[in-house]
Amino acid sequence: MTTPPTPTPRGEERLYFDAAAENRLTYQTCDTCGSTVFYLRALCPHCGGESLRLRESTGLGTVYSYTVQYRASHPYFAGETPMTLALVDLDEGFRLLAGLTEADDVAVGTPVEAVFRDSGDLALPYFRPRGHEEDPK
């Protein structure tokens, strides 16, 4: 079986993936300028501040946009096409690109919630329309 393509977490990415392994979605806020920061970084991209606070998202958001991918980008995903990928605006003010489950019910503006799936040694966030009870694993 093909193994999934996964990143090798470095620096702040380790904090993100450690939390994801516990089904928690994290982001940062800047103590200097108050901005929401995502992905996790060492410096605020808005003001250069070095004091970034790790926060936990509710995982609730809405679909900003989405696309359907009919050709697998990697052999591991060959059995998962068509695959719906979405830009999700989280309620805390950051945007995340992720896969959607139960994509038949999705449109721009659909309220969604994060669910986590194992991918190799990591867990990755996916989103599904709110109110669905399917176990994503």
Task: Using CB under 5 A, list all residues that contact Zn ion.
Answer: 30, 32-33, 35, 44, 46-47, 49
Sheet holding 26-30, edge to edge: 36-37, 26-30, 52-56
Cβ proximity to Zn ion: between 47 and 97 the closer is 47
Q: Report, in Å, the least distance between residue 41 CB and Zn ion.
A: 10
Cβ proximity to Zn ion: between 6 and 32 the closer is 32
Q: Report, in Å, the least distance between residue 121 CB and Zn ion.
A: 32
Pairing state of beta strands 95-100 and 122-129?
parallel
Cα angle: 136, vertex 29, 88; to 5 degrees? 35
Q: Report, in Å, the least distance between residue 32 CB and Zn ion.
A: 5
**Strand (E) or helix (H) holding 65:** strand 60-69
